[in-house]
Structure 1
Amino acid sequence: MVTSILLDLMGGVALLLWGLHMVHSGIVRAFGASLRRVMATVLRTRLQAFLAGLGITALLQSSTATALMLSSFSASGMVELAPALAVMLGANVGTTLIVQLLSFDSSAISPLLLVLGVVAFKRSRDARWRDLGRVAIGLGLMLLSLHLLLTSLAPAENAPLVREILSAITGEPLLTLLLGAVLTWLAHSSVATVLLTMSLAYSGFIPPLAACALILGANLGSALNPFIEGLSSSNPAHRRLPAGNLLTRLAGCALFLPLLEPLLSWLTPLEDNPARLAADFHTLFNVVVALVFLPPIQPLSRLLCRWLPDSKAADDPAQPLYLDTSALDTPSVALACAARETLHMGDIVETMLRESMQVLLGNDRKLALAVSQRDNAVDSLHEAIKLYVVRLTRDSLDEAEGRRAMEIMALSINLEHIGDIIDKNLMELANKKIKHQLQFSREGAQELEAFHRLVIDNLKLSFTVFLTGDVKAARQLLDEKTRVRELEMQAAESHMARLREGRLESLETSSLHLDILRDFKRIHSHLCATAYPALEASGQLRPSRLRQQAVSATPASSDGAGSVHPAPPPSAGAC
């Protein structure tokens, strides 16, 4: 009987956790962007922050999710630490609302929520209604799981061994608190632990004292997951908010643990239902902690800032290495700094391009994620370079300096576009190939590798042209456009020949193969744009490839693939 009861308990807890997951994911999908905007903008006062945390966590049903979301905001400076701590105090109160709701007998609502949720999820064409249907299904599963927990515990009333085991486990309040913290850490949900505790208390398997100690542990455990997540960050600023939340939880437990018996003697006459008693204690704990720590939130935030000072990781690829603000007064030096940073950005793009081929051929999902993360660093560096050059050009520059500033901006923009092509296009194709477990034919893989090597070689050549302005290298880079075009046509013709032969690998990967060739060609077009400034400066560009009477020279030009380069002057010679 004991084994059967334990299995039923584990099944009920698993169903409860899955219901919580569905509620959380449904709310995030339906309102995630709005919740993030609220987090970043509405936190002007402690009270507003507290109410925002309460409301958002009441929707998300996860103070852990709120903490992880806020940690990144706080570390990046989007939200100050004091309001973020106030949000977490509100978030911890917000988690008690669903517990209060579920502490009442609402088992009859479960079938209705499940039916409405399934209908909304299956029949609705609107994405938000589908997500709300997911939320309704999750709530229905949570109510159903509570009913299953109570039903599975009923036969255990005649099993003394179960009572003895639970009594031994929950006999000491401090050990019971630690047990509750461990269970919550494992489940990543204080709500699940509190609801399980309510079920055990309602069935009489644990006394009210043990139930309250478990609830204290659940509140402590809910602060462990964000803190442990923060330990993996090299920047101590990411650990401030989780550490502050954990400190308030620890202080609250230290305050309440010695007072459990007096508090129970006060609460028991007010509520004779053990489940409701546990829910009320859970709410009381979080409200008291909020009232105690909300007034001194500013001193606490200053203490955390001194304890965990901000430090940028030296190996963070998103951090500029060469943009020296003190050099802005000397344009020639500042332009050299910006050029070095642009080449640093180019090094990351080159790494992305090299790794993209490994992903495409090796089906390495982990490496695909790393490539996509590098694109975030490229975007950050592009933004930093742009702002640096804008600050530099506020003062008057001579003609050569102004031209060099525009060259730096043009290469930075093109590199950012290349990063987007790799991330948004090539990695999407790679993930599709991995998902469907596809493989290129041996000849197809060799063609892609040859095309990729050519693009890598010309990436290096473009850096040389940017750095030296060598006209010969610039002409060579533009000449490579013809070679790339011919290589693409040859690869496409070979691929079509394999399709006519009925090669299975080619049939399965046809669209992927052609899309990858197209994306490599687009990347190469962005690289070739680096040649135009050097050729323009030497007067080796025609105004246009069209007949003079058909079109006049324009102030700027683009190669059709979005590449940015300065326009050739009207007096330029033939290329």
Structure 2
Amino acid sequence: MDIVNIINLAGGLGLFLFGMRYMSDGINQVAGTSLKRLLEKLTNNRFKGFLLGLLVTTIIQSSSATTVMLMGFLNAGIMTLLQASAVILGAHIGTTITAVLIAIDVSAIAPICIFIGIVMIMFCKKSTKRNIGQIILGFGILFFGLKYMSGDSAMGVLKTSAAFKSFIMKANNPLVGLLVGGLMCAILQSSSASIGVLQALALQGLMPMNFAIYLIIGVNVGSAMPLLLSSIGAKTNAKRAAFIYFIFDVVGMLIFTPLAILTPYTSFLTNLSANGSVQVASGHIIFKVVTAIILLPFVKYIVKLSETVIKRKEHDSDFRFLYIDPLHVGNTTSSVAQVSSEIVRMAGIVRENLELSIQAFNNGTLEHAHLIRENEEKINWLNSNISDFAITLTAQPLSPHSSEYVGKLFHVLIDLERIGDHAMNILERTERTIEDNLAFSEYGMADVRKIYDVVIKIYDLSIDAFFKEDLTASQKTEVQGLIKETQDMITKALDDHVVRLRKGICHTAQGVIFTKLLQDLDRTGDHSYNIAKLAKKDTELISQL
């Protein structure tokens, strides 16, 4: 095998890997949001989760990509580890679709797919159609690369290599096969690609099943390496998901290695078909299916094992992300979900500060002043760091829906941070009231309580509508009515306050604080309404974001 053959082999392998990645990215652009919603709705049952994992991975052709997506959803709090584990089992089977397609040899249509994909990418105006073109182009490149890699100018030349033929015909050491298979997958970072290489060799008659079976087992164990590496520095549940993926493959190795050594399992595979590629695909599929079926009833215990082995971290500081994993921005769908969950957390802290600051004013006490200030620091930290992460996210290829949603999230962050500032203003006005020993009339205090009750209702309705991505006509009418009610109540409260000033019931010093506090509540309602308006899709609004 000379340098030209090596270059041809490397080029074909490069096209194969690029085509697989390019197609997977296109599928995520087209179906990423839908897959997220499916994962949210159908993972409450482990059998449904198993089938969903099979379906999703059959579509995107990568169990690692599915598991990375799940790791992101775990970080975002969308699903539990038990739910994710069943999906991972299904993903193990779904990833075999590439081997099936290679085995039935659809490479003849690769040039047509490449042509159609390029035409769609170059001439279609709608992004969805361009993304579909990307999927078709990636599919074509994948199989064009496979055909080139297995051709006479690349792997085919190994037929004339006496040294290679001598090695491959004598190779039957299980340990060597496991190590070579695992190393191959660790280098290529894809079990589908590694099995594809074995199938390409088998097409040339250079991969006897008595050795290939151990390579297949090794490849499957090695497929966990990219996930284990990506989980370094990740959050606890993400590490556990990678560990569970590894456990599944190790159990498969413990089942099939003795089976291949002690039984006529290899002969069974060779009797299925005379086509070496089909034999390799069959061995890969059986490994995945049998392991998944055996382990599915024991998912709960595997999760407990992962929780025992990987302990939850104890953190000293609250100034950290609970859902976002800054080290992993690989799957944009799960990353957007993480950002959303982190902003929900921020919205909860903002609401707590509003509640505590009004309580402090109503009760004339600074009991929770320290907590309010600590919360304000968290709000500012989250605003800054979520924004930074979201900016890195916008540099990734996003679907139109995700791009629109991330644009809205920036505006929500701004409004939440300003509402937090108004809560701090209320605390500071309370501190001045206590420091100057000022007292407010019973009527004024009652007005503040009534106005706050309406404002916090606006806030809750707005946050709920935005994160459900739906502001119904009745909700919009309700929020608008509450905004009008707030403005009318504030106008009346100010008028009544002027009357009390004239009667000497209230005084100027209290009046300044009272007026500014009402302004804080008014602005809180306005910022909340801004969030509510973003819940509804609005072409004109989105174009301004």
Q: TM-score, normalised by structure 2?
A: 0.65
Partner of 1:218: 219
Partner of 1:193: 194
- Counterpart AA for 2:350: K
Q: CA deviation at 1:180?
A: 1.4
Q: CA deviation at 1:166?
A: 5.0
Partner of 1:276: 278
Q: 1:316 to 1:215 in 2, by over 3 A?
A: farther
Q: CA deviation at 1:40?
A: 2.5
Partner of 2:346: 382
Q: CA deviation at 1:269?
A: 1.7
1:430-455 Cα deviation digits (max 9, x unpaired): 99xxxxxxxxxxxxxxxxxxxxxxxx
Q: CA deviation at 1:399?
A: 5.0
Partner of 2:260: 260
Separation (CA, whole Å) in 2 of partners of 1:6 and 1:394: 73
Partner of 2:41: 41
Q: Would you say the 8 A contact 1:24–1:60 is kept in 2? A: yes
1:47-86 Cα deviation digits (max 9, x unpaired): 1111100111111111111112212333554322222111
Separation (CA, whole Å) in 2 of partners of 1:277 and 1:421: 49
Separation (CA, whole Å) in 2 of partners of 1:155 and 1:308: 48
Aligned positions of 1:255-404 closer than 5 A: 255-260=255-260, 262-315=264-317, 317-318=319-320, 379=343, 382-389=346-353, 398-400=362-364
Separation (CA, whole Å) in 2 of partners of 1:248 and 1:289: 7
Q: CA deviation at 1:214?
A: 1.5
Q: CA deviation at 1:92?
A: 0.8
Partner of 2:79: 79
Q: 1:395 to 1:415 in 2, by over 3 A?
A: closer
Partner of 1:10: 10
Q: 1:424 to 1:265 in 2, by over 3 A?
A: closer
Partner of 2:204: 203
Q: CA deviation at 1:283?
A: 0.5
Q: 1:288 to 1:232 in 2, by over 3 A?
A: same
Partner of 1:142: 142
Structure 2 residue runs without a partner (length 5+): 323-335, 396-420, 434-507, 530-545
Separation (CA, whole Å) in 2 of partners of 1:22 and 1:55: 19
Say which SS state the counterpart of residue 294 (structure 1) adopts. helix
- Counterpart AA for 1:279: A
Partner of 1:180: 181
Q: Would you say the 8 A contact 1:50–1:87 is kept in 2? A: yes
Aligned positions of 1:470-489 closer than 5 A: none
Q: Would you say the 8 A contact 1:23–1:134 is kept in 2? A: yes
Q: Would you say the 8 A contact 2:184–2:194 is kept in 1? A: yes
Partner of 1:434: none
- Counterpart AA for 2:183: V
Q: CA deviation at 1:159?
A: 2.5
Q: CA deviation at 1:21?
A: 0.7
Separation (CA, whole Å) in 2 of partners of 1:307 and 1:390: 41
Partner of 2:102: 102
Q: Would you say the 8 A contact 1:84–1:241 is kept in 2? A: yes
Q: 1:563 to 1:418 in 2, by over 3 A?
A: farther
- Counterpart AA for 1:309: K
Q: Would you say the 8 A contact 2:50–2:86 is kept in 1? A: yes
- Counterpart AA for 1:294: L
Q: Would you say the 8 A contact 2:353–2:375 is kept in 1? A: no
Q: Would you say the 8 A contact 2:102–2:277 is kept in 1? A: no
- Counterpart AA for 2:99: V
Farther off after superposition, 132-141 or 1-10: 1-10
- Counterpart AA for 2:242: P
Please say if 1:419 is aligned against 2:384.
yes
Q: 1:185 to 1:255 in 2, by over 3 A?
A: same
Q: 1:279 to 1:183 in 2, by over 3 A?
A: same
Which one of the candidate residues 152, 159, 162 is aligned to 1:160? 162
1:212-262 Cα deviation digits (max 9, x unpaired): 2221111111112212222323x4333222111211101111211122252
- Counterpart AA for 1:181: G
Partner of 1:51: 51
Q: TM-score, normalised by structure 1?
A: 0.61
Q: Would you say the 8 A contact 1:319–1:381 is kept in 2? A: no
Separation (CA, whole Å) in 1 of partners of 2:28 and 2:314: 30
Separation (CA, whole Å) in 2 of partners of 1:424 and 1:252: 38
1:244-295 Cα deviation digits (max 9, x unpaired): 1211101111211122252111122221111100001110110000111011
- Counterpart AA for 1:274: G
Q: CA deviation at 1:299?
A: 2.0
Q: 1:421 to 1:160 in 2, by over 3 A?
A: closer
Q: CA deviation at 1:537?
A: 6.9
Separation (CA, whole Å) in 2 of partners of 1:71 and 1:537: 56
| Matched residue count | 408
Partner of 1:243: 243
Aligned positions of 1:491-570 closer than 5 A: 539-540=511-512, 556-558=521-523
Q: 1:313 to 1:291 in 2, by over 3 A?
A: same
Say which SS state the counterpart of residue 231 (structure 2) adopts. helix
Q: RMSD across aligned C-alpha pairs, in angstroms?
A: 4.3
Separation (CA, whole Å) in 2 of partners of 1:420 and 1:303: 34
Q: Would you say the 8 A contact 1:318–1:381 is kept in 2? A: no
1:6-56 Cα deviation digits (max 9, x unpaired): 222111111110001111110111111221222222112221111100111
Q: 1:555 to 1:217 in 2, by over 3 A?
A: closer
1:468-525 Cα deviation digits (max 9, x unpaired): 9569xxxxxxxxxxxxxxxxxxxxxxxxxxxxxxxxxxxxxxxxxxxxxxxxxxxxxx
Q: Would you say the 8 A contact 1:375–1:423 is kept in 2? A: no
Say which SS state the counterpart of residue 150 (structure 2) adopts. helix
Q: CA deviation at 1:191?
A: 0.5
- Counterpart AA for 1:100: V
Say which SS state the counterpart of residue 40 (structure 2) adopts. helix
Q: CA deviation at 1:103?
A: 1.1
Q: CA deviation at 1:97?
A: 1.4
1:158-179 Cα deviation digits (max 9, x unpaired): 23234346567x5522222121
Identify which of structures 1 and 2 has the higher relative contact order when contacts are C-alpha pairs closer than 8 Å and 6+ apart.
2
Partner of 1:28: 28
Structure 1 residue runs without a partner (length 5+): 321-371, 432-458, 472-535, 545-552, 565-575
Q: Would you say the 8 A contact 1:198–1:211 is kept in 2? A: no
Q: CA deviation at 1:386?
A: 3.1
Q: Would you say the 8 A contact 1:173–1:209 is kept in 2? A: no
Separation (CA, whole Å) in 1 of partners of 2:63 and 2:260: 24
Q: Would you say the 8 A contact 1:230–1:242 is kept in 2? A: yes
Say which SS state the counterpart of residue 108 (structure 1) adopts. helix
- Counterpart AA for 1:256: F
| Percentage of matched positions with identical amino acids | 25
